[in-house]
Amino acid sequence: MTNTLGGGHGPAEATPRPGSAVQGGDRAQQVSAVRDAAQAGPAVQDGAQAGTAGQGGGSARVRLRAERARRAGELDRRLARLVGAEPDVALVAVGSHGREELTPGGDVDLVLLHRGRPDIAALAERVWYPIWDSGLRLDHSVRTPAQAREVAREDLKAVLGLISARHVAGDPDLTREVRETVLAGWRSDARRRLPELREMTRARWSDSGELAFLLEPDLKESRGGLRDVHAIQAVAAAWVAPAPSARVKDAYALLLDVRHALHETTGRAADRLVLQEQGAVAEALGLLDAEALLRTVVEAARTVTFAVDHMWRSVDRFCSPSGRPVRRPLADGVVEHDSEVVLARGADAGGDPTLVLRAAAAAAQAGLPLAISTVERLARETPPMPVPWPAEARDALVTLLGAGPPAIGVWEALDQVGLIERLMPDWERVRNRPQRNPVHTFTVDRHLVETAARAAAHTRDVARPDLLLVGALLHDIGKGWPGDHARTGAVMARDLGERLGFDTGDVRVLEAVVRHHLLLPETATRRDLDDPVTIETVAETVGDPVVLETLAALAVADGQATGPAAWSPWKAGLVAELTRRVAAVLAGAPPPVAPEPTPEQLALARHGGGSVRVVGSRITVVAPDRPGLLWQAAGVLALHRLAVRGARTVSWGRGAEGPTALLEFLAVPEYGSGPDPAALEVDLRRVLAGRLDVEKRLERRARSYRPRKGVPVPPPRVTMIDDASATATVVEVRAHDRPGLLWRVGHVLGTFGLQVRAARVETLGAEAVDVFYVVDAEGRPVTDEDLRASVRAGVLDVVR
């Protein structure tokens, strides 16, 4: 069996493998007793402890904790009977059983200590085999005190288990001796061992991510999870940092209850809280729904993360002492002390409501953390901020946000003690609110702070950096309320702007920025920028160059803070081009007209029959115009595993050979490197000549496509939009992305006799937003209601 304590070397651990015989005793009874003790369902509790899902999370959690305590006690008694009254031996529990936290799917971790007994192998058989035969997962080792000390010096996981070992049976003096010597060694060698623990922790974080910001978090291994509290306990055992606070203990207990409920509802050992199991776990904990569960988990995880980050700073100071602590002033009433920001002697936190923001701004600008004692004192003593805020407080908030990424940790410190909600009461609605969307990396509140931190890099690009930073902080504030978050957020931004003390004109700008924060990225990726109506509509909506430049900077910061699926060089280029064209219109220039074919494109047309040019991600096709040309070409790109990000068609000429069509695609590989341009060109020529059956090959590929099970997929939506263009009808398709989606939709449009004049394609994670500018056979917008209904139904059918 596996041995997490680093054992298994030499005759000291002569335990047999599973399957060998065990002599003596009623083995069947032993097996049954162990199984019953460790795996039995919830016992009947008294009235104070009984609880079922739906009667409140408190009672459900009381039941789980009582069950763990009962399970530990029962298992201890059974194990004690297996050991018996043997001299010079001790059975100790480590890991979850050692902490009396054994969940239904947890491992049983045991160490059998002895003082050189020659018959230890037989005794080990008597203990291990009933456990194995009961079906429990067992991690085990057999040690003398000298061997335990030796392995603790060399194996980090072993020492972490032994410093918290709990006596179960046998000689308690033997257990006490080993624990004390291991602890003494851990403390004396802390400067060597704690950096090792830190590196192991960082590697775990790198593998498992941050618990608070994952849709399917690992409750144990992720940053902010159960393992991090174990690390705090280990560092506290070395006398380098304090033990976990009451808040951290409560957060840990919550995460442990969630893990217990996960094991109980799934019937298996699992630490990852996957989407399809969150509803059942929420019900088992007496919570309203999966979102309430995630919000509760986020709260606990952020509490643990904040504590473990502070703990590692203490470890850094311990392992790399810098001599006499540096103390220097940073702002009025604020100083740096020992690489943290604290209040100066004589600072009046109770009489100065702006001190909290002044200290936060100074810490962020210096790139230093606020000391925990300082934020706790500020939380206790800071009086309410006057409304509207004084200019000094507003300037300090802008200075804090303008520090960029260092502001995030400082904001988190204020948030942990409740100061953010006191300064901005509306913050409570978005605090810890999960997005439940794979495109978004963070919860709503953290996304707002991340966006403001990203916006700090663009303050020199706008006339009003203060409005950019505050607008970035508030742009999604409406997500705490039902309905359109941009509309709701605009109202809240107006109220918050007045609360912060901005004048009427500035409040109007903030309101417009929050109301229209999605305008530029959505228009750039879903509308034809060559259509004059697109530019005129955006210019009319924005109405003000200050609002436009603020929206442009916010679009970049928002996209970058959302996640890698939400922002790309392609999208950035489109937003920049849209901004440039709208700025020109606001300055009095006429709307741009669609560009004419370039000389190079006209040269391609002279080849007749069809010509193709592939340059990087840009693919140009020139061929005699005919119905379905765009979606046929899109099908070839799908066959070559290219994801189309944009498409445009231009038709010109009416000679004897008919009009010529120019198709321009922007396409990127779905994964890996792009296809061979020569092979792509050959297939494009084959489809133009009618020698390639795109549909058959795409269907074959579609059959091999297997969407991920268990992930909820919202129903597709098809919308016909008439006011986005004066010359075409816009068909907007929102659906789960899959290979060849553009080809399928284009094929349906073609069967109804519609021509696609332009297309914009955006993929956000697993969701696609495809927009098609279509005209009927006469080249006019689609107005026939029966045809529109048929088109909508046909498109819905192929994207479901």
380 confidence band (pLDDT: 50, 70, 90): very high
Q: Could you tell me the CATH superfamily of domain 621-799?
A: ACT domain (3.30.70.260)
The amino acid that residue 88 corresponds to is D
Does 46 have pLDDT greater than 50?
Answer: no
Least confident of 435-449, 455-469, 580-594, 701-715: 701-715
Q: Of 363, 556, 345, 367, whose CA–CA distance to 450 is shortest?
A: 556
Does 509 have pLDDT greater than 50?
Answer: yes
Q: How many CB atoms lie within 10 A of CB 433?
A: 20
pLDDT at 383: 97
591 dihedral zone (left: phi>0; alpha: psi -120 to 50; beta):
beta
Q: How many CB atoms lie within 10 A of CB 135?
A: 11
Whole-number Å distance between alpha carbons of 576 and 548: 11
Pick the residue with more confidence: 322 or 503? 503
Strands 755-764 and 767-775, bridge-based pairing: antiparallel
Q: Average pLDDT, stretch 143-170? A: 93
List, in order, residues 6 or more apart from 340 with CB less than 8 Å away: 313, 368, 369, 370, 371, 374
The amino acid that residue 89 corresponds to is V
* 3 state SS for 288-301: CCHHHHHHHHHHHH
pLDDT at 653: 65
CA distances from 611 to 607, 647, 666, 691, 714 (A): 7, 17, 17, 15, 40
Tell me: the pLDDT tens digits for 168-211? 999 999 999 999 999 999 999 999 999 999 999 999 999 999 99
pLDDT at 670: 76
For residue 734, what are the β-bridge partners? 717, 769
Q: Which helix (H) or strand (E) holds 796?
A: helix 785-799
pLDDT at 605: 66
Does 562 have pLDDT greater than 90?
Answer: yes
Computed on alpha carbons and rounded to an integer, the radius of gyration of the chain in Å comes to: 33
Whole-number Å distance between alpha carbons of 544 and 328: 45
Percentage of residues of the chain with pLDDT beyond 90: 61
294 dihedral zone (left: phi>0; alpha: psi -120 to 50; beta):
alpha
Q: What is the DSSP string of 333-381?
A: TEEEETTEEEEPTT--TTT-TTHHHHHHHHHHHHT-PBPHHHHHHHHHH
Whole-number Å distance between alpha carbons of 359 and 348: 12
57 confidence band (pLDDT: 50, 70, 90): low
Whole-number Å distance between alpha carbons of 238 and 233: 9
Phi, psi of 552 (to 5 degrees): -65, -45
Whole-number Å distance between alpha carbons of 779 and 498: 51
Whole-number Å distance between alpha carbons of 354 and 342: 15
Q: Average pLDDT, stretch 649-673? A: 74
Does 159 have pLDDT greater than 90?
Answer: yes
Half-sphere exposure in the Cβ direction for 345 (13 Å, CA):
2
| Helical residues (DSSP H) of 40-166, grouped into ranges | 57-83, 95-98, 120-133, 145-154, 156-162
Instruction: Evaluate the CA torsion angle 47, 49, 54, 58 in order and state its sign.
Output: positive
Length of the chain: 800
Half-sphere exposure in the Cβ direction for 237 (13 Å, CA):
24
Does 218 have pLDDT greater than 90?
Answer: yes
Instruction: Evaluate the CA torsion angle 318, 320, 323, 329 in order and state its sign.
Output: negative
For residue 663, what are the β-bridge partners? 621, 649
CATH code given to domain 11-188: 3.30.460.10
CATH code given to domain 432-594: 1.10.3210
Annotated domain spans of the chain: 11-188, 192-319, 432-594, 621-799
Tell me: the pLDDT tens digits for 85-113? 889 999 999 999 999 998 888 889 999 99
Whole-number Å distance between alpha carbons of 717 and 733: 6
pLDDT at 79: 92
Mean residue pLDDT of the chain comes to 86
Least confident of 133-147, 332-346, 353-367, 500-514: 133-147
Q: Average pLDDT, stretch 627-639? A: 84
Q: Of 565, 473, 543, whose CA–CA distance to 510 is shortest?
A: 473
CA distances from 609 to 539, 639, 647 (A): 41, 22, 21
Does 478 have pLDDT greater than 70?
Answer: yes
Whole-number Å distance between alpha carbons of 765 and 760: 16
In Å, how far from its chain's centre is CA 92? 39
Q: Tell me the two tokens of residue 368.
A: 């230093």
Report which listed range, 101-105, 272-276, 435-439, 667-671, is most confident. 272-276
The sheet with strand 334-337 has its strands ordered as 327-331, 334-337, 340-343
Does 6 have pLDDT greater than 70?
Answer: no
- Structural fold of domain 192-319: Four Helix Bundle (Hemerythrin (Met), subunit A) (1.20.120)
Does 40 have pLDDT greater than 80?
Answer: no
Q: Of 109, 117, 200, 184, whose CA–CA distance to 152 is shortest?
A: 184
Does 18 have pLDDT greater than 70?
Answer: no
Q: Do 647 and 665 touch, CB atoms closer than 8 A?
A: yes
